[in-house]
Homo-oligomer: A and B are copies of this chain.
Amino acid sequence: MRACNQVIIDRMQSSVALIPQLAAHLVAAGGKRLRPLLTLASARLCGYDAGDQNLRHVEIAACVEFIHTATLLHDDVVDESQLRRGLASANAIFGNKASVLVGDFLFARAFQILTADGSLGVMAILSAASATLAEGEVMQMTTQNDLSTSVDQYLQVIYGKTAALFAAACEVGAVIGEVPADKREALRLYGANLGMAFQLVDDALDYAADQALLGKEVGDDFREGKVTLPVLAAYEAGSEEDRVFWRRVIEETEQQPEDLDRALRLIKETDAIATTLRKAEDYAQKARASLSVFEESALKTLLTETASYSASRES
């Protein structure tokens, strides 16, 4: 990962100074680097041995992070979120304009690096995932403020906006490791299910986290009127009076200062967080199961534990 961080910093350089400045802001913010880690771990699980000279798995992992960072930057624009990972969002500091353009730069740079690497298989996976990501974000936008969104539609949204890139991050590791189709498919499924669990917990934490641990404000999704599973479950189980409340705050985003507390109370009363976390655990279980084609190893144990952790994390 040290090598990957170095590649990330090296490859975001540009003669236009604002680009490395803004990108460095995101690198400094840290984040979990979960997606490039999945690529590196998947490649190694598939027996890829880089040797000292060959950094191609690291370069590809950096591209996965660039694509993710680009979507974070663009998400900052569209969602006007004021906090990201406990720091002010890039948008709040640099403005919409810079966030859009630096995101575009990182995305283009990722495909430049991938082209130089030359694996059409890797590029097919990551370009398709990028298109699915945009589709997921658009779909999220069209379901926002709409409580008639079904759970299936919600699951499609989180597959697009999160799980598709997790799946791709793992699958490109398998392509780097040149394993047979069954192992490649196993890693793709592992990533997809891990991503679903991860996003479900993210959506739960937005109503249930210890704010200091979470590093962003509880209730961000609420204020934007995002339709996530905690809200859908509470709405579904709510009384008619509760539903009138949900429609006002989520569909009309007509919110009073005390409304978040009421929403948190209704979510608690209807066990909506537990419902969400149970669903996350189902996906984590599928993620773990998909690894059965691999022999036992320390790395397999790590990936198994990552799936368990993703469904039970508190930040």
Interface set of A (CB-CB < 8 Å, partner B)? 14-19, 70-71, 74, 77-78, 96-98, 100-102, 104-105, 107-109, 111-112, 114-116, 118, 120, 123-124, 127-128, 130-131, 133-135, 137-139, 141-142
Contact = CB atoms under 8 A, between A and B. Distances in A.
B142 A130 contact: no
A243 B141 CA distance: 46
Contacts of A71: 104
Contacts of A97: 77-78, 141
A14 B136 CA distance: 11
Given A70-B104, A105-B138, 7 more contacts: A77-B96, A97-B141, A104-B137, A109-B127, A112-B124, A114-B127, A116-B124
Chain A interface, >50% SS class: helix
A42 B74 CA distance: 35
B104 A74 contact: yes
Contacts of A70: 104
Given A104-B107, A105-B134, A112 B128 contact: yes
A121 B97 CA distance: 31
Contacts of A130: 104, 107-108, 111-112
28 contacts: A14-B135, A15-B135, A17-B142, A18-B138, A18-B141, A19-B134, A19-B135, A74-B101, A78-B97, A78-B101, A97-B141, A98-B138, A101-B134, A101-B141, A102-B134, A104-B130, A105-B131, A105-B138, A107-B107, A108-B130, A108-B134, A109-B131, A111-B130, A112-B127, A115-B120, A115-B124, A115-B127, A116-B124
A118 B127 CA distance: 13
Contacts of A18: 138, 141-142
A100 B78 contact: yes
A298 to B, nearest CB: 34
A163 B14 CA distance: 18
A111 to B, nearest CB: 4
Q: Specify which of A70, A96, A97, A128 lies most central, judged by the most chain B CB atoms within 10 Å of its CB.
A: A97
A135 B14 CA distance: 8
Contacts of A105: 131, 134-135, 138
